[in-house]
Structure 1
Amino acid sequence: MRFIPTRFHGFLDYIVGIFMIIAPWVLDFSDNDAATWTIVIAGIIVLIQAAMTDFEVGLVRRIPMQSHLMMDFGIGVILALSPWLFQFDDYVYLPHLIVGIFSILASLTTHRVPSHSYKAEHTNPDHIRHM
């Protein structure tokens, strides 16, 4: 069941992406390179992806929402498994597991297309800029 609006998902992407980038220092696991860079790189990807998605809060609008959600799912799986894949689970695993599961759940519960008002505004010929 999909109940999360794409606009809300986009705002969450920006917030969670920033949190992922600062998490190693806020949650005190920055002295482990694998744990740090896994979540930081994932956070950077989340921010870039949000900025490039064709939805209400996208800046460049090149990635279709369905592709964005598939990428969120993949990022979530990799992030959730990363402590065991990259062998830092004895040091830290909860931030990666929690954010990974959150990403998977968000990908499965967010609408696949932006709101009708967004689509109407961005497909109406009167609103398209001519070059």
Structure 2
Amino acid sequence: MKLISPKLHGIIDYILIIFLYTSPTFFAMQKDVATYVYLLATAQLILTVVTDYSSGMFRMVPLKLHRFIELAISLGMMVAAFTLFQYDERTKPYFAGLGIFWLIVVIFTDYSKKRDGVKAPIL
């Protein structure tokens, strides 16, 4: 059963964007890693703003495409954790954990437009 409605998914997206923008400072990341995180945050912000759901502003990207883009990002983050950042003991768990979290959100989100705004079972 898909527990996360599109409305809740949008809220999670904006919380994730704030987390991504504050992470480099909070975790004292190296400059090159911080650049990757800022680029990721900006990409997620653009995706969230242009997606066609209650949290989107311009509503040009269908929800189903949003799902596939976030799935690719989450898998890419997990791959990057064990390839690009395999020797960085602080960055590897950050990207792996974030990728796993993102994948869980994607798996449990109901991407049907009819649930956007409905308050069952979660928002």
Same fold (TM over 0.5): yes
Q: Does residue 101 of the first structure (1) align with residue 85 of the second (2)?
A: no
Residues 19 and 116 (structure 1), Cα distance of their counterparts in 2 relative to 1, 3 Å cut = closer
Once the two structures are TM-superposed, the CA of residue 95 in structure 1 deviates from its matched residue by: 1.6
Query: How many residues are paired up?
Result: 117
Structure-2 residue corresponding to 1:3: 3
Q: What percent of counterpart residues are identical?
A: 22
1:32 Cα shift?
Answer: 4.3
Q: Which amino acid counterpart does residue 79 of structure 1 have in structure 2? A: M
Give the equivalent residue in structure 1 for 2:52: 54
**Larger deviation, residues 5-14 vs 90-99:** 90-99
Question: Which has the larger Rg?
Answer: 1
TM-score (norm 1): 0.79
Gaps of 5+ in 2: 118-123
2:112 — aligned with what?
113
Change (3 A) 1:89 1:6: farther
Q: Which runs of 4+ in 1 moved over 3 A?
A: 115-118
Q: Distance in 1 between matches of 2:84 and 2:55?
A: 33
Q: State the distance in 2 between where 1:116 and 1:98 align.
A: 28
Q: Is the 8 A contact 1:79 1:97 kept in 2?
A: yes
How big is the alpha-carbon RMSD for the aligned residues of Structure 1 and Structure 2?
2.0
Residue in 1 that maps onto 2:21? 21
Q: Distance in 2 between matches of 1:36 and 1:88?
A: 16
Q: Mind listing any 5+ residue stretches in structure 1 that lack a counterpart?
A: 119-131
Question: Does structure 2 retain, via aligned residues, the 8 Å contact 1:42–1:79?
Answer: no
1:39 Cα deviation (Å)? 2.1
Contact 1:9–1:106 (8 Å) recurs in 2: yes
1:79 Cα deviation after fit: 1.3
Amino acid at match of 1:11: I
Equivalent positions of 1:39-50 (< 5 A) are: 39-50=37-48
1:53–1:65 Cα contact (<8 Å) kept? yes
Residues 6 and 116 of structure 2 are in contact (CA less than 8 Å); yes or no, is this contact kept in structure 1?
no
In structure 1, how many angstroms separate the alpha carbons of the residues matched to 2:17 and 2:100?
14
